[in-house]
Structure 1
Amino acid sequence: MTTGINQLSRTVYEVDVPAGKKRLQVTATKPAGINGQFKVYVRQGSAPEVPNAVECTADSSISLPAVCSIVNPVEGKAYVMVEGVTNVNTLSLRVDVLTK
């Protein structure tokens, strides 16, 4: 999915995690030449509550792509929150639920 995010805004996405999966992986990146920084938070069961109630955090100022992985995720809902540190016009977000 491609989206944009404004400074200090937060967008939450809900993800269904089937039983028996080995990894929930969220990958976020932006095209070369696009300025801006963002953070990604992932939590199972309910929406992330930053800074404490998260299971995984990735920060675009540290690495791109920003990747969050949860090993042996619980069946049910997981929530991905993207927070704009600065404005980002174009942001690509990919969520994979993997069998290995």
Structure 2
Amino acid sequence: MADAKYLPYLIAWILLQVERSMSELYHSLLHKLYLSSMPNIPVNRFVTPLHIVPEWYFLAYYAVLKVIPSKTGESTVLMTTVSESTWIR
């Protein structure tokens, strides 16, 4: 049995775990009820939606990501570009 001086911490820890579990349950149910009803719009990888506009300082990196089709190639080129830009300055 836990020592009596640790009892308040144990109770607080248990309440924290219950709160986290309830929060996770609430958010998962909220996601299932409201976000699963979104229409299934076919994705066009080469056309960016109008409401998504990258900032001007990300445009070069964004162009690199749009040109290269593979995820591995994208991440490799992006990391190379970022590391080279830090060495140039």
Pick the structure with more strand per residue. Answer: 1
More helix as a share of residues: 2
Q: Fold conserved (TM > 0.5)? A: no
Larger radius of gyration: 2
TM bin, normalised by shorter chain, reads under 0.3
TM-score (structure 1 length as normaliser) = 0.17
Which has the bigger relative contact order, CA under 8 A and spacing at least 6?
1
Per the normalisation by structure 2, the TM-score is 0.18
